[in-house]
Amino acid sequence: MITFLSGGTGTPKLLRGMQKVMDRHEISVVVNTAEDIWISGNHISPDVDTVMYLFAGVLNTDTWWGIRNDTFTTHDEIINMGHGEFIAIGDRDRAVHIARGNMLREGTRLTNVTRTLCDRFGVRENVLPMSDTEVTTKVKTELGLIHYQEYWIRSKGQIRIEDVVRCSKTHPESTEEVIQAVEASEVVVIGPSNPITSITPILECNGLKDALTDKFVIAISPFIGNAPVSGPAAALMEASGFEPTSVGTAKCYKDLVDLFIQDTRDPVEVKDAIRLDTLMTGEEKSIELAKNVLSLANRK
């Protein structure tokens, strides 16, 4: 069994390859939930949905969010009603958010809600929200303290971030299911996800770091040079006091990682890192990286 720590783009690209080269029942994924948000009364868990849709074979892999060939009739009508949604929600995707919202309102834990949804989609991998505790990544900007999704989607990432703040009523706890998955794994892989908004929220959950101490942990950098492959990771790293490079990523995970992987093209040198082609421009490249990571995992 291998457990992966995942956000909603970089690690799912690796998982796309892993599902082709591993027994799918041997894959557990702990997914960031600090970007979750209630929209129009329903609950979006963007990273969980991306991982779930990927394994269900319905993910839109052009955007890495939402369902392939979804329609946006309800979203467009809501805008016509003069009540905009700043996130474009597909009709089938919205059905998942409605079902999730209803189950959460009934008091079902997000972990069990996710299991029910995954069962409905025929997902065989073990998809685990990082926590059942509600926690939100917010960023401090000239508009005040705003939800990360508002920064990235409504403001198109065009405003300066002064600080990154994790907001929750109680400190998030790792679930029993997450700890069991890590304990049952020979290797844990921190995929090439955003270190600040996707991986750190998972690592911050009580119990997770302790569970990782005697595991072989592999991390893959989402940076090549001083820019991420995509998305706003550089601005978030800088606002959190880390260099926006593989060196900064390695520092962010300090003491946790046994083997650090950076791209062959990366001009920045991380001591003792292994170099691989990490640029997953299509399914074949994802499979190739997955095979290489797996052979390093098997050699540990």
Residues that bind ligand GDP (CB under 6 A): 7-11, 13, 47, 192-194, 197-198, 220, 222, 228-231, 233, 263, 278-280
191 binds ligand FO1 (CB under 6 A): no
Number of Cβ within 10 Å of residue 39's Cβ equals 17
Least CB distance to ligand GDP at residue 198 (A): 3
Q: Considering beta carbons, is residue 62 or 255 the nearer one to ligand FO1?
A: 62
Q: Per rule CB under 6 A, is residue 266 in the interface with ligand FO1?
A: no
Interaction of residue 192 with ligand FO1, rule CB under 6 A: no
Task: At 290, list the tokens.
Answer: 């997955």
Three-state DSSP state, 213: coil
Which residue number, 94 or 115, has a Cβ lying nearer to ligand FO1? 94
| Parallel/antiparallel/unpaired status of strands 259-263 and 216-220 | parallel
Sign of CA dihedral 73, 75, 77, 79: negative
Is residue 196 within 8 Å of 221, Cβ to Cβ? no
Contacts of 131 (CB under 8 A, 6+ apart): 33, 110, 172, 173, 174, 175, 178, 205
Closest listed residue to residue 49, CA positions, set 21, 82, 9, 109: 9
Considering the complex, state which of residue 174 and residue 245 has its C-beta at the smaller distance from ligand GDP: 245
- Which position among 89, 205, 239, 293 is part of the footprint of ligand FO1 (CB under 6 A)? 89
Q: Which of 29, 67, 87, 247 binds ligand FO1 (CB under 6 A)?
A: 87
Where do runs of H (alpha helix) occur along 86-191?
A: 91-105, 110-120, 148-149, 176-183
Q: Which stretch binds ligand FO1 (CB under 6 A): 113-121, 124-132, 148-156, 252-260?
A: 148-156
Closer to ligand GDP by Cβ: residue 10 or 169 = 10
Cβ atoms of 8 and 198 within 8 Å: the answer is: yes
Beta carbon nearer to ligand GDP, 77 or 269: 269
Residue 60: CB atoms within 10 Å: 17
Which residue type sits at 230? S
**Cβ proximity to ligand FO1, 100 vs 115, nearer residue:** 100
Decide: is 103 part of the binding site for ligand FO1 (CB under 6 A). Answer: no
How far, in Å, CA of 143 to CA of 136, rounded? 17
Stretch that binds ligand FO1, among 147-155, 163-171, 248-256, 284-292 (CB under 6 A): 147-155
47 is a contact residue toward ligand FO1 (CB under 6 A) = yes
Q: Rule CB under 6 A: is residue 8 a binding residue for ligand FO1?
A: yes
Are 148 and 138 in contact by the 8 Å Cβ rule? The answer is: yes
The contacts of residue 81 (CB under 8 Å, 6+ apart) are none
Tokens in use for 100?
């999730």
Q: What is the smallest separation between the CB atom of 145 and ligand GDP, expressed in angstroms?
A: 19
Which of ligand GDP, ligand FO1, none does 229 bind, CB closer than 5 to 8 A by kind? Answer: ligand GDP
Binding site for ligand FO1 (CB under 6 A): 7-8, 35, 44, 46-47, 49, 65-66, 87-89, 93, 149, 152-153
